[in-house]
Chain A
Amino acid sequence: MTSLARPPGSFRQIARGQLADPQVQAAFDGVTGRLKQHRLATWNGLEDGEALRDRAYEIRMRTIDDLDRHLSTFTEQVESRGGHVHLCTSAAEAREAVVAIARAAGARLVAKSKSMASEEIGLNAALEAEGMRVVETDLGEYIVQLAGGHPEHIIVPAIRQTAPEVAKLFEQVEGVPVSPDLQELGRVARRQLAEVFRTADVGVTGANFAVSETGSICLVTNEGNAGLLTALPPVHVALLGLERLVPTLDELGVLLQLLARSATGQRLTSYTRLVSGTAGRGETDGPEEFHVVVIDNGRSRLRETRYREMLACIRCGACINVCPVYRKSGGAAYGPVYSGPMGAILVPLLTGLERAPDLPHASSLCGACTDVCPVKIPLHELLLELRKDLVEERITSTRERLAFTLWSFAWSRPSLYRLSTAFARIGQRLAPRIGPGRAWSAGRELAPIARRRFRDRR
C-alpha cells in the first residue's frame, strides 16, 4: 500500500467543490497560466526543440530497456565512493529503509527537500511514528506541511495558498502577527528554516536524475535547499525513483536542457547539483554517510506493459499546466501525490486501475499534454488505453457497458440505425431530462437536429 491511495470515484466530488470556489479557480488559473507562458517564452528561444525532444525520448526509452545494467553500474560507482544503495521493491520497504538509516543515526530532526518519491511512499508519517521531527524545507512543501495538506502540483505544491493564508500559517509558528508582504514571508521562512538546516541529523532529498557511469545524484532547485541538505547534515539520504537513471553525463546534459525549460521556463534552475558520495578527503562539510534509496514500487512491472513510455516521465509538470481539466478541477481531485495528465496515468498504473477508475476519464483527450511533453510521452493515447482496460477488465459499470453494447448492436444494423435517426429529434428533446443524458447535456449546447434527415432529401 502506498500513500497514492485515494477514495475511488472521488474525482467528480472534489472537482465540483473546487469549481464552486472562485478564489481557488483564480489561483490555479493564474499559476498554471504563468508557468505555461514562461515555458513557451524559453522554448521558443531553443534552436531545435523538436530534435532535442526526439533525443530525450530516445535516451529515456533506451535506458529503460536496460535498467538492470544501469542500476548495477550505478550501485558499483556509489559504493566505490563510500555510499550505500538500497533497492526497495515496495513503498513499505523504502519507508523502512529510510527509517532504519535515521534510527541508526540517532536522528531527532529530519530535514527534507521536495521529493515526489517521498510523497509516494508516505515517508513523513513513518518517520514521525518513530518520534522524529520532520520538516520540509522547500517553501511550497513547508507551507503545505504547516497547512496539513498534500501537494497539489508537482512543481508548485502550495498552488492553492495565497500570501495572506501563508502569513496566517507562519503566524502559528512565530506566535506574533506576520505581514502578508511577499518578501517579508520569504524572510520569515528563511529564519524559521535556517535553524532546521543547522541542526538536522539527517537530510532527505529526492533525485531528479542519477548518473550510472559516475554514481552521481542530480538535484535541481531554485531555493538552494537541496544543496544545503547535501552539505550540512551528517547523513544524506537521496530517494531515487528507479526509472530516473541516466547512463552518462552527456545524456544528463540533454535532459537538463529540457527539465527547467519545461517546468518553469528557465534555461537552468538557480542550482543544479551533482553529488557523488560522502565528503571528500580534507573537505570541511558534506555528510559522513551517503545513502541512495532506490524505489521500484511497481515501476519494473510497468516496463513489461504497453504503458512503459510513462517511465520516461521526468516530472517537469508541463502537461499539468496545459491541461484544461486540471486547471479547473485542481490537484486534490487526482489524489494526494501526482496530478494532471501524468497523475491520471501514473496513479492507476501504480495503485491498480480499480482504485482509480475515474482518473483515466479526467481528460478531454485534447492532446495538449502530449504536445508539450519534453520526452514525447503520448499521454492522451495512454489515457485512452487505460479507458480500454477499464472496459476489458470489467471495472466499468454494468449499466454503462450495457448501454454501449446496445448502441453498437443497433448501429451495426441498417434497419435499426434508420429507426434511431428517425427518432433522433424526439430523443434529443428527452435526453436532457433523464439519467445520464441530463448529466451529459448539463454543460453542453446541443445543436438542433435537422427536421428532415439527409437521406430523405431528394
Chain B
Amino acid sequence: MSREELVERFVRNAEEAHFRVHRGEPPALEGAGVSVALYGLADTGSVVIAASPNEPRARHLVGDVHVSLLSENRILPDLATLFASLERPLPSSLSIVTGPSRSADIEQRMIVGLHGPAEVHIVLLPA
C-alpha cells in the first residue's frame, strides 16, 4: 500500500470512528487538550498516545475537546504492525484511542462525552 493510500485509509476509518480529521489547516480550538500522537493506525482509524513527562496519562481523557497531532509518516497499517514496532521497555502507559468517550449502557443508546471528550480531532501534519 502506498503512503497516500495508507493516509486515505486512516482518514476514512478515523472519521468512521467519529474523529474530525484536519489536513494542513489546524482548527482554532481554545481550551482543548492537545496531545502528540506516537502513531496512527489506518485499519481502525486510531491514534496511539504514549505517556511521558510531556504527555500525562489522563490528558486525552479529560475536558470536552481533545486534539491529537499526528505526523502522516507515523501512520501504520494496523494493530499488529504497532505491536511489532513498539520499542521495549514499553512506556508506562500506552493508549490506543479510537473515537470519543462514549457509553451505550442505557438502553443500548449512545451517549457521547461521558467521562472524557465528546469532540475529538486529529490534525494530520505533512511528513
CB of A222 within 8 Å of the partner chain: yes
Across the A-B interface, how many residue pairs have beta carbons closer than 8 Å? 179
**Contact A275 B115, beta carbon cutoff 8 Å:** no
Contacts of A185 in B (CB 8 A): 106, 111
Whether A267 lies near B92 (C-beta < 8 A) is no
Docked-complex contact B108 and A286, CB < 8 angstroms: no
Contact partner of B111 (CB less than 8 A), chosen from A137, A182, A194, A257, is A182
Q: Pick from B92, B94, B103: contact of A186, CB below 8 A.
A: B103
**CA–CA, A283 to B104, complex, Å?**
33
Contacts of A274 in B (CB 8 A): 90, 93-95
**Given A223-B101, A228-B61, A272-B98, does the pair A30, B108 have CB atoms closer than 8 Å?**
yes
Give Cα A256–Cα B107 distance, bound, in whole angstroms.
Answer: 25
- CB A232 to nearest CB in B, in angstroms, measures 6
A27 touches B96 (CB 8 A): no
Check if A270 sits within 8 Å of B99, measured CB to CB: yes
B102 touching A223 by the CB < 8 A rule?
yes
Contact A283 B57 (CB under 8 A): yes
Which residues on B sit within 8 Å (CB–CB) of A194? 115
User: Hey, which chain B residues are within 8 Å of A272, CB to CB?
Assistant: 46, 95-96, 98
- B101 to chain A: closest residue by CB: A224
B44 pairs with A268, CB closer than 8 A:
yes
Contact residue among A157, A190, A275 (Cβ-Cβ distance under 8 Å from B114): A190
Known: A250-B80, A267-B98. A186 touches B44 (CB 8 A): no
**What residues of A have a CB within 8 angstroms of the CB of B113 in the complex?**
186, 190
Residue of A nearest to B114 (CB): A223
B residues in contact with A252, CB < 8 Å: 83
Instruction: Give, as a whole number of angstroms, the nearest-CB distance from B118 to chain A.
Output: 9
Cβ of B15 under 8 Å from chain A: no
**Which chain B residues in 47-83 approach chain A with CB under 8 Å?**
51-53, 56-58, 61-62, 79-80, 82-83
Q: Which residues of B contact A172 (CB under 8 A)?
A: none
Is B84's beta carbon under 8 Å from chain A?
yes
* A268 B96 Cβ-Cβ under 8 A: yes
Chain B residues contacting A267 (CB-CB under 8 Å) are 13, 17, 43-44, 98
Q: Is the CB of A284 within 8 A of B105?
A: no
B29 within 8 A of A: no
Choose one: A156, A158, A232, A275; the contact of B92 (CB below 8 Å). Answer: A275
Contact of B103 among A139, A197, A281, A285 (CB under 8 A): A139
Say yes or no: A271 contacts B105, CB within 8 Å: no
Measured between beta carbons, the chain B residues less than 8 angstroms from A262 are none
Complex CA–CA separation, A183 to B83 (angstroms): 36
Q: Which residues from A are CB-within-8-Å of B101? A: 222-224, 270-271
Residue in contact with B58 in the complex, picked from A139, A158, A231, CB distance below 8 Å: A231
Query: Is the Cβ of A283 less than 8 Å from the Cβ of B51?
Result: yes
How far, in angstroms, from A273 to B101 measured CA to CA in the complex?
Answer: 13
- How far is A270 from B91 in the complex, measured between Cα atoms in Å? 20
Is A441's beta carbon under 8 Å from chain B?
no
Instruction: Say yes or no: A280 contacts B92, CB within 8 Å.
Output: yes
Cβ–Cβ < 8 Å partners of B115 in chain A:
137, 190, 193-194, 197, 223-225, 228
Contact among B56, B84, B97, B108 for A250, CB-based, below 8 A: B84
Is residue B40 within 8 Å, beta carbon to beta carbon, of the partner chain?
no
Complex Cα distance, B94 from A277, in Å, reads: 11
- Which chain A residues border B89 with CB–CB below 8 Å? 81, 214, 276
Chain B CB within 10 A, most for which of A31, A194, A232, A268: A268
Give Cα distance in the complex from A275 to B57, angstroms.
10
CA distance A231 to B106 in the complex (A): 26
Which residue in chain A gives the minimum CB-CB distance to B79?
A253
- CA gap between A39 and B109 in the complex, in Å: 15
**Do the beta carbons of B52 and A283 come within 8 Å of each other?**
yes
Closest beta carbon of chain A to B48's beta carbon, Å = 9
Chain A residues with CB under 8 A of B61: 224, 227-228, 231, 271
Partner of A182, one of B53, B95, B109, B116: B109
B52 to nearest A CB, angstroms?
7
Chain B residues engaging chain A, CB cutoff 8 angstroms: 13, 17, 43-44, 46, 51-53, 56-58, 61-62, 79-80, 82-84, 86, 88-109, 111-116
Beyond contacts A138-B105, A186-B112, A214-B89: 7 other A-B pairs, Cβ-Cβ < 8 A, are A224-B61, A267-B13, A270-B101, A275-B92, A275-B93, A280-B91, A285-B57
Task: Show 13 residue pairs from A and B whose CB-CB distance is below 8 angstroms, ordered by the A residue.
Answer: A31-B107, A139-B105, A140-B105, A143-B106, A163-B106, A186-B113, A222-B103, A228-B61, A231-B56, A250-B80, A277-B92, A279-B51, A286-B57
A binding-site residues for B, Cβ under 8 Å? 27, 30-31, 34-35, 81, 137-140, 143, 156-158, 161-163, 166, 182-183, 185-186, 189-190, 193-194, 197, 214, 216, 222-225, 227-228, 230-232, 249-250, 252-253, 256-257, 264, 266-286
